[in-house]
Structure 1
Amino acid sequence: MSTAPDRQLGPDLTIATSISEAAADVLVIGLVAGSDDAATDASPVPVVGDGLIDDAVVAEISASLAAVGASSGAGDVARVVAPAGLGVASVLAVGLGSASALQTPDSVRRAAGVAARALTGVGTVVTTLSTVDLGAAAEGFYLGAYRFEEFRSDKTRSITAPLGAVALLTGPSVREGEAELDRSRAIASAVAVARDFVNTPPSHLYPEEFAARAEALGKTNGLKVEILDDKALIKQGYGGIVGVGKGSSRLPRLVRLSYSSGTKGAKKVALVGKGVTFDTGGISIKPAAGMENMTSDMGGAAAVIATVVLAAQLGVGVDVTATVPMAENMPSSTAQRPGDVLTQYGGITVEVINTDAEGRLILADAIVRACADSPDYLIDTATLTGAQMVALGTRTPGVMGTDDFRDRVAAVSRRIGENGWAMPFPEELGADLKSRVADLANVTNHRWGGMLSAGIFLREFVTDGVQWAHIDVAGPAFNTGGPWGYTPKGGTGVPVRTMIGVIEDIAALG
């Protein structure tokens, strides 16, 4: 799937059973520490796959890597001339970390991502990383090679061509490998869609346009699509979405994308994602420094749209519906004010103490609407609070919700490499959301536990009996630093892989 008709996902990935079959320019291998004992000064060990390379050739590669000081540290790279007769011109070694990293697919995924960036301009590479975990290696090469250049002219468009092709070495079961490659391609494509949405500037991606692109994706992939415009939102009582969006000349939308598995008795999963296409903070305006990064404030919406489409493409045995509120939070003569009271969809009233705590207002409307379908499970995700980064840093999503499902989502997130961490709901914080004039206030009167308070606010709108998880990805959805592993600068696509992993887990286990 793609948000643009000419979108190139990444290198052309194929399967090969030998280095000679691949006809490649570069061989990519992993390096692990020679010992997991930190006190042992052992040379890094190449990861080359059983029987693929003669032992004497492996020894020659090892000697060359040692000569240039190659390291097994995660993400470290070294490139050496290949031994004669290997069938490639050079060997690129990427650090995997300790030998135990071979048990962690994400170490392979990250190493492949590093290799994809290091080998821009190379025609074809062949890798033995796929002999450790083919799916992870494929995802890593796709995601690491990602580029977003839609708004660059020829003057600044990348001079170096992207990595051209990757041959993934496999064992004897090529057919099984092809199925795994297809799955990895679909997942990487979904992540790329979410990244593309996030990286598209707000001048070009505003609520109406975002809704139109989501509709096009949905219809292309056989989903049922429903869009409510600003008039319908007002008529049907979506006070949170209307309140946040009324300060902008570009008015809000609510998009619903539904996938039906056709499976009798299938579980129902609801997805909700925050779609603030740009967030100035409204009347409670943000500082100017770094405000340009608020183009990413629709990262949750981007992820749930990509995920429901991916669920349809993979044909999961679960019914999935994404409910996506979209608004632009601007200060103007029509914007909501601190002290205003709005009525959320479903009737709960909220005193708006801070207009920069807007995401929870539009999510609350969408959560109530999603719960009207009586789902078994609900996952909402958002770039919701700066407090998430204060608590957990820029790479670790905070996961809150009903205890069992929260822990299940966090466990899946860690397993697939997005590293979500379960967080509590201290009951004393709930009392701090009481309002002087309404049912709730949208923020507390202090700065403590801000991520948790936002989750507690959202809990008020979840129907009893629905298994619910809230994923705060304020930092993880948008990388303001340099690229690392398979993660580029800008939109990351987190938490698409977590959500599809949870959906597949539900399909398998209920």
Structure 2
Amino acid sequence: MARTGTRSTIGRTPPELWPSGGTLVSTDLLDDGSVDAIAVPLVPAVEGEHGAQPGEGAADVSALYGIDLAEIADRVGLTGASGESYVLQLPRAVGSAVQLPWQALPPRVVLLGLGARSAADLRHAGAALARASRGLGRVLTTAGVQGSQSASQAAQAARAFAEGYLLAAYRPPTSATGPAPAPSAELVLLGRDGTRVTAALDAARTAAAATWLVRDLTTTPSSTKTPAWLADQAKRLAARRGLETQVLTPRELSAQGFGGILAVGAGSASTPRLVVVRYTPTNASGRHVVLVGKGITFDTGGISIKPRESMVTMKTDMAGAAVALATVLAAADSGLAHAVTAVLPLAENHFGASSYRPGDVLRVYGGTTVEVANTDAEGRLVLADALAWADATLEPDVLVDVATLTGAAAVGLGKQRGALFGTDDALVAALERAGEAVGEPLWRLPLVEDYADAVRSDVADLRHVPADAGLGAGAITAALFLREFVGSRRWAHLDIAGPARATSDRHEITEGATGFGARLLLQYLADLR
């Protein structure tokens, strides 16, 4: 693949969603041959009952097909737990003399567990259906519908189920000469209609598309994904939406004093960039939220070189920049009331004759000097430049950075939660709520003041890695270093080193780049008053 090539698959859109107020019995879709499968919801047994119990529409399907679906669920050991699925492949008759009850009906029935029908359960169920229906054309389901639901509850259930479906439908893009990934089916959600449900499905598709974009960009190999290439992608995607874009090249970075970005990128033949994408709503009466995303397109560790095993995933070290970019684009797509600016410091941390060294003293944007202790802690240096510049020039009401920053955060919190730091309790609480709502949870860690001296230096204003290797608290000291560059802004730092990558599929999470962070930031923006 050419180093400067563009993959047309970047910015793909998820499968279509179709709300319908019909029931399984009355819908005309069953008769036109366009439906490949019907997904029937199952729920866990209540006290005193045994096995999975049929959900909404299951009785209708049993009657249509002349099959006892509850007996089949019991026979294959389904419990109705969220994420369970079983595909019943129905045979076709041989010869015109034999007529089967399902002769004119879709040839597959998917038995789908919904669990307790919480938002997380419905996302898991949607994800299970996406995997069970991969390669099909269209699927019908009443999953998540309950007769007692209010319009608001129906909309929330539809969004959760649809998001799970769309997120799990993702497949990594391939090169122009490679095989196309098998698509997931279009999804028709029966029993759901009305303005609220339609809006909820639109929101689900926008959020899923943002996550798809993060995954696409993060998955792109570094042989293609240079800082210049990523800057071009940002410009192209922003131009589609009429957004303003600014790109600073090495000449401008040098003239304006971006010493951190320039030092980190000095060892690479692929020169660094700083990209700014601005969304300003027509009626700009809301807040101005600035998102800064770490964009290391590949990380060798520099002179403090990583072991080979640790380098394997380092094409994903720009996930924070992808999250910030996808969020500002989705904010524009959604017409959010708040102005959003994404700031993307992009560099490749390589090593060579011009690499920066441990012991060097850098001058970052604004004049702060920083002693370098470890060239493999490059992310906080590019973020320092970008945060200081955002504070000085953009006048943000809220400043949030997102980065695959420290292994310490992944060790402490594992692969399913991001680490959250902040200077404003209300901002931190709002981000926590947003994360829980969309299934991208955060866990707040403290900015321990007793550790602040660890980022002080005898030869510069700051030292970006503590001198005491036995201090520990690597995620905390990194956050304390970043805090020095945000002024008095309301600031939060998301360390997503753990959940940005996954080693296997799990519910709505896909193996490889997960896209963690885009949906929670969109939810935060939607909730912001």
Cα 1:279–1:117, aligned 2, differ >3 Å: closer, same or farther? same
Q: CA deviation at 1:81?
A: 5.5
Q: Report the Cα distance in structure 2 between the residues aligned to 1:478 and 1:91, rounded to whole angstroms.
A: 33
SS of equivalent to 2:68: helix
Distance 1:441 1:89 in 2: 65
Question: Which AA in structure 2 matches 1:246?
Answer: A
For 1:240, the aligned partner's letter is G
Contact 1:130 1:169 (C-alpha < 8 Å) held by counterparts = no
Partner residue of 2:409 out of 388, 401, 417: 388
Return the match for 1:134 from 158, 177, 181: 158
Listed as ranges, the matches of 1:33-432 within 5 Å are 33-35=44-46, 42-48=50-56, 60-80=68-88, 84=101, 87-97=105-115, 99=116, 102=117, 104-131=118-145, 133-151=157-175, 153-154=177-178, 158=181, 161-171=182-192, 173-372=193-392, 373-402=394-423, 403-432=425-454
- RMSD between superposed Cα atoms in Å: 2.4
Distance apart, 1:359 and its partner CA: 0.4
Letter in 2 for 1:454: A
Deviations along 1:300-336, one digit per CA (max 9) or x if unpaired, are: 0001101001101111110111111000000111010
1:467 equivalent in alignment to 2:490: yes
Q: 2:42 matched to which residue of 1?
A: 31
Deviation of residue 265 (structure 1)?
3.4
What is the TM-score normalised by the length of structure 1?
0.91
Farther-moved stretch of structure 1 (360-369 vs 109-118): 109-118
Distance 1:127 1:477, change over 3 A: same
State the Cα distance separating 1:275 from its structure 2 match.
Answer: 0.3
Letter in 1 for 2:406: T
Would you say 1:435 and 2:457 are equivalent positions? yes
Q: Unaligned stretches of 5+ in structure 2?
A: 1-5, 91-99, 146-153
Query: What is the aligned residue count?
Result: 493
2:515 equivalent in structure 1: 493
Kindly indicate whether the alpha-carbon contact (under 8 Å) linking 2:290 and 2:398 is maintained by their aligned counterparts in 1.
Answer: yes
Normalised by the length of structure 2, the TM-score is: 0.88
Offset of 1:73 from its aligned partner?
3.5
Give the partner amino acid of 1:413.
G
Cα contact 2:331–2:522 (8 A) shared by 1: yes
Q: Distance in 1 between matches of 2:350 and 2:236?
A: 27
> Taking structure 1 as reference, are residues 311 and 66 closer, same or farther at Cα in structure 2, changes over 3 Å only?
same
Indicate conservation of the 8 Å contact 2:218/2:318, yes or no: yes
Q: Distance in 2 between matches of 1:80 and 1:46?
A: 15
Q: Per the alignment, in what secondary structure is the counterpart of residue 483 of structure 1?
A: coil
Q: CA deviation at 1:361?
A: 0.5
Q: Structure 2 counterpart of 1:149, which letter?
A: P
**What are structure 1's unaligned runs of at least 5 residues?**
none
Query: Which structure has the larger Rg over C-alpha atoms?
Result: 2
Q: Deviations over 1:20-70 (max 9, x none)?
A: 3333222223433224x8xx7842223325996678989921111001111
List per-residue Cα deviations over 1:431-482 (Å, max 9, x = no partner).
2112121111111222511111111111111121x21111111121121x11
C-alpha separation between the residues in 1 aligned to 2:113 and 2:177?
35
